[in-house]
Structure 1
Amino acid sequence: MERLTKRRLLTLSAATVITTPALRAAAQDLPPHERQLYEAARREGEITWYSGQYNAETSEAVGRAFNERYPGVRCNVVRSTSQVAFQRLSQDARARVGQCDVFSSTNSGHLTQLKRENRLIQFKPENVAGMLPAIQNVDPDNYFHTSFLGLFLMTHNTRLVSEAEAPVGWQDPLDPKWRNKLAVGHPGFSGAIGVWAVQMRKMYGWDYFRALERNRPQIGRSSQDPVTTLNAGERSVGLCVPIGTTALSMSRGNPLRLIYPREGVLAAISPSGIPSNAPHPNAAKLFMEYQASAAMSAVVRLTFNEPLRGDVPPPEGGRPLSETTLLAPSLEEQERLVPEVRELWRDTFGV
Structure 2
Amino acid sequence: MVAAAKKEGKVVFYNNLQPDGIEPILRKFRARYPDISTEHIRLGSNPLNERFGTEYNAGRHLADVVITIADQNFYKGIESGWAEKWSPPEAKSYAPEWIVDDMLFTTQQLREVIIWNTNLVKPGEEPKEWKDLFDPKWKGKVAMNPPWRSIPTQQLIVYWEDKLKLGDTAQMFKDNNVRFFEGSAGIIQAVVRGDVAIAELTDLSVYGMLEDGAPLGFVYPDSGFPLSVNRMFVAKHAPHPNAAKVLGNWLLSLEGQTALQEHAGLPVTHPDAPPRKHLPATKDLKNVMVDGESIINPELQKKVVNHWRTVFGVR
Q: TM (normalized to structure 2)?
A: 0.90
Separation (CA, whole Å) in 1 of partners of 2:96 and 2:175 = 38
Separation (CA, whole Å) in 1 of partners of 2:32 and 2:103 = 25
- The alpha-carbon distance between structure 1 residues 117 and 298, as it changes in their structure 2 partners (threshold 3 A), is same
Mapping of residues 166-205 of structure 1, within 5 Å: 166-204=126-164
Which of 13, 18, 22 aligns to 1:59? It is 22
- The alpha-carbon distance between structure 1 residues 256 and 93, as it changes in their structure 2 partners (threshold 3 A), is same
Deviation at 1:95, TM superposition (A): 3.5
Contact 2:192 2:216 in 1 (8 A): yes
Instruction: Using the TM superposition, name which of 178-187 and 302-311 deviates more.
Output: 302-311
Mapping of residues 156-305 of structure 1, within 5 Å: 156-204=116-164, 207-242=168-203, 244-303=204-263, 304-305=265-266
Separation (CA, whole Å) in 1 of partners of 2:98 and 2:123 = 37
Deviation at 1:40, TM superposition (A): 2.2
Deviation at 1:114, TM superposition (A): 1.3
Deviation at 1:229, TM superposition (A): 0.8
Separation (CA, whole Å) in 1 of partners of 2:205 and 2:45 = 16
* Alignment deviations for residues 202-229 of structure 1 (CA, whole Å, 9 cap, x no partner): 3245513321221111111213322011
- Gapped runs of 5+ residues in structure 2? none
Name the residue aligned to 2:274: 313
* Alignment deviations for residues 209-265 of structure 1 (CA, whole Å, 9 cap, x no partner): 3212211111112133220111111110111232x4122112223211111211124
- Is 1:331 aligned with 2:293? yes
Separation (CA, whole Å) in 2 of partners of 1:95 and 1:323 = 45
Number of residue pairs matched by the alignment: 310
Name the residue aligned to 2:62: 99
- The alpha-carbon distance between structure 1 residues 85 and 311, as it changes in their structure 2 partners (threshold 3 A), is same
Name the residue aligned to 1:23: none
* Alignment deviations for residues 173-207 of structure 1 (CA, whole Å, 9 cap, x no partner): 11222211100012222333233333333324551
Name the residue aligned to 1:136: 98
Contact 1:111 1:273 in 2 (8 A): no
Deviation at 1:70, TM superposition (A): 1.5
Contact 2:107 2:252 in 1 (8 A): yes
Instruction: Using the TM superposition, name which of 105-114 and 277-286 deviates more.
Output: 105-114
Instruction: Using the TM superposition, name which of 248-257 and 151-160 deviates more.
Output: 248-257
* Alignment deviations for residues 101-123 of structure 1 (CA, whole Å, 9 cap, x no partner): 11221234353121122222212
Separation (CA, whole Å) in 2 of partners of 1:117 and 1:333 = 23
Separation (CA, whole Å) in 2 of partners of 1:179 and 1:170 = 15
Deviation at 1:94, TM superposition (A): 4.2
Secondary structure in 2 matching 1:111: helix
- Residue identity (%): 21
Name the residue aligned to 1:79: 42
Instruction: Using the TM superposition, name which of 279-288 and 300-309 deviates more.
Output: 300-309
Name the residue aligned to 1:18: none
Separation (CA, whole Å) in 2 of partners of 1:135 and 1:253 = 35
Name the residue aligned to 2:11: 47
Secondary structure in 1 matching 2:173: helix
Separation (CA, whole Å) in 2 of partners of 1:156 and 1:135 = 34
Name the residue aligned to 1:155: 115
Write the letter of the residue equivalent to 1:82: S
Deviation at 1:293, TM superposition (A): 1.0
Separation (CA, whole Å) in 2 of partners of 1:261 and 1:332 = 20
- Is 1:119 aligned with 2:82? yes
Deviation at 1:161, TM superposition (A): 0.6
Instruction: Give runs of ≥4 in structure 1 deviating > 6 Å.
Output: none
Name the residue aligned to 1:8: none
Q: TM (normalized to structure 1)?
A: 0.81
- The alpha-carbon distance between structure 1 residues 298 and 111, as it changes in their structure 2 partners (threshold 3 A), is same
Secondary structure in 1 matching 2:40: strand
Write the letter of the residue equivalent to 1:236: A
Secondary structure in 2 matching 1:173: helix
- The alpha-carbon distance between structure 1 residues 71 and 108, as it changes in their structure 2 partners (threshold 3 A), is farther
Contact 1:112 1:335 in 2 (8 A): no
